Amino acid sequence: MTDAAVSSLPRRRFLQVAGASLAVAGSGRFSMATARAEAAFRLQVLHINDLHSRIEAVSRSNSTCSAADAAEGNCFGGYGRLATKIRERRAELAEAGVPVVTLDAGDQFQGTLFYTTYKGKAEVEFMNAIGFDAMALGNHEFNDGPDNLAAFIQAANFPVISGNTRVDASEALAAALQERAVLEVGGERIGLLAVLTPDTAVISSPGPNVTFEDEIAYLQRAVAAMRSDGVDKILLVSHVGFRRDQEIAAAVEGISAIIGGHSHTLLSNTVEGAPAYATLVENPVGRAVPIVQAYAFSRFLGDLELTFDADGYVVAAEGDTIVLDASIEPDADIEARIEELAGPIEELKRRPVAELAAPIDGSRGNCRARECEMGNTVTDAMLARVADQGITIALANGGGLRASLGAGTATVGDVLTVLPFQNTLLTMHLTGADIVAALEHGVNAIEDGAGRFPQVGGLRFRLDAGVAPNQGRVSAVEVRQGAQWVPIDPDATYGIVTNNFLARGGDGYAVLAERGTERYDTAVDIAEVLAEYLAANAPFAPTLDGRILQ
């Protein structure tokens, strides 16, 4: 079933399903009156997903919030605000007598120097302090292998679950990871199941002793087994993405609701253009399954109210994502601990990365107007990181390259000066025609020194600045196939790697936002990618090799 086929189901489609009358009460809310309404049970679910080590507050671009951002009130999220809002909501719900669970749909790991420094120890410390009830595995939890993940789980005061993840008994992870959890909440048993995208095998580092079963095949067995055990209120905490969540809801009978992650999708009833919170999908017996997700990077807290009937189906759902903005005062104790943990990170910035045999030119005047050494270096580093994923073309914006590097020893701090925005590596697929359109856009303001100027890898083209903007400045586009260069095929599809800023249409690259398919945000900071590449090729010397002919 396609994404469009599932997500387009109208809410009134559920009228008169399963002998129930569905009343739609505005976006993101439905209620269903049934003959068994007297047995209704209400549960509040607070949830996050894809925090990606954003322990400190973030800016509008999801990088670490600067002093200037803070002064302007442009800081969001961070564990301090998350702790404040979760504790506030729990207190309100306790006063109202409403039971609550707090869930994380995965990907605590990777994205800032807090993870680079502490490898998950900081993240689990703050999760314990807040008191999460359970967490689903995300693919990035495997970035440093199963042993590091096992240590994280062993430190957690809550179950970490993933049912379709198969771990050989020889791994320490096998004893730490749980398939499912059952929570006693408000006098009821709430079953938790979790699934992880099978793509983890190629986009992370689970090792040879960890495999992943198809999510739907696993869930069809697991849900039936949990219900046969007498647990019929079943929440799926998934890390497979919004599209796949909809497919699961449509294919698997017995799931009450899905708390999702992985695709960084904002579901909201107030943000224009966002899918509804909750999005409803009809299950195989015609019952409504609410699906929610709360974007990423600690910016939002999902706040979902569910009402169950006596058979464990959800008969009412309402709520929304809550933006954790400057109006929320961060918890003082959490903030103090964050500041303490930040100390060694300053030391990390002074850590040597690699020896450079020659300077790498990243000057503004060059990187926004022509092929430049830093552009070649960064795009080659991006391609090297995803070389095993069938990605052959890299695209970066010259404006994202903020400094040059001198010959000699380059440090982590030096690399962060070049790439300070915490942009992440993102892969997608585009047709050859769309790639050419992106290049044409990238060069159409060269006279202004615009930051959109494209730096490329695995691709070369001719640029004629004498042609009017958007009238064919780009020509003779070729792509590398092995050791050969061949003309780009407008109708063929190519795998490209770029940064998350451009991928969402930044610098005016609407073609990437609107036409890119099979999009995947690795959440890996491009600064980290560059540092690894320089170290692997030390003593590094940059080159200019004719990627942009003028």
Report pLDDT digits (tens) over 163-174.
Answer: 999 999 999 999
DSSP per-residue letters across 35-49: TTGGG-EEEEEEEE-
pLDDT in tens, 397-408: 999 998 889 999
pLDDT at 31: 53
Residue 347 has pLDDT above 50, yes or no: yes
Look up the pTM and report it. Answer: 0.80
pLDDT of residue 64: 87
pLDDT above 50 for 520: yes
Contact present, 319 and 259 (Cβ < 8 Å): no
pLDDT at 211: 97
Question: Please, what is the end-to-end C-alpha distance for the chain in angstroms?
Answer: 47
DSSP state of 8: T
Hey, which bits of 309-415 come out as E strands? 314-323, 352-356, 393-397, 408-411
Would you say the CATH fold of 351-549 matches that of 41-343? Answer: no
Burial 21-44 (b: 16+ CB within 10 A, else e): ebeeeebbbbbbebeeeeeebebb
pLDDT at 346: 87
- Residue 181 sits at φ, ψ, to 5 deg, of -145, 150
pLDDT at position 28, please? 53
Q: What's the per-residue H, E or C state across 280-330?
A: EEECCCCCEEEEECECCCCCEEEEEEEEECCCCCEEEEEEEEEECCCCCCC
Lowest mean pLDDT, pick from 111-120, 177-186, 233-242: 111-120
> What average pLDDT does the segment 15-27 reach?
35
Rounded to 5°, the CA angle 253-257-258 comes to 100
The DSSP bridge pattern shows strands 233-239 and 257-259 to be: parallel
Q: Are 499 and 423 in contact, with CB atoms under 8 Å apart?
A: yes
* CATH number of the domain located at residue range(s) 351-549 in this protein: 3.90.780.10
Q: Which residue has the higher pLDDT, 3 or 102?
A: 102
Task: Tokens 């994280």: give the residue.
Answer: 152
Tell me the two tokens of residue 364: 């503004």
Q: Which helix (H) or strand (E) holds 377?
A: helix 373-385
The pLDDT value given to residue 420: 80
**What confidence score (pLDDT) does residue 374 get?**
96
pLDDT band at 39 (very low <50, low <70, confident <90, very high): low
Q: Does the pLDDT at position 418 exceed 80?
A: yes
pLDDT at 8: 35
Looking at residues 409-435, what average pLDDT do you find?
93
- Confidence class for position 449, pLDDT limits 50, 70, 90: confident
pLDDT score of 278 more than 80? yes
**pLDDT range class, residue 67, cuts 50, 70, 90:** confident
Average pLDDT, the chain: 91
CA angle 230, 240, 76 (to 5 degrees): 105
- The CATH architecture assigned to 41-343 reads 4-Layer Sandwich (3.60)
Q: Which of the pair, 245 or 67, is modelled with greater confidence?
A: 245
The two tokens of residue 523 are 């959440």
DSSP string computed for 458-489: SEEEEE-TTSPTTSS-EEEEEEEETTEEEE--
User: Tens digits of per-residue pLDDT, 186-239?
Assistant: 999 999 999 999 988 877 889 999 999 999 999 999 999 999 999 999 999 999
- Structural domain boundaries of the chain? 41-343, 351-549
Sequence letter at residue 481: Q
Q: For residue 239, what are the CA distances in angstroms to 9, 90, 199, 210, 468?
A: 22, 25, 11, 16, 46
Residue 14, pLDDT score: 38
User: What does the pLDDT look like over 265-277, one tens digit per residue?
Assistant: 999 999 999 999 9
Q: In whole angstroms, what is the distance from residue 177 CA to residue 198 CA?
A: 17
| % of the chain at pLDDT higher than 90 | 81
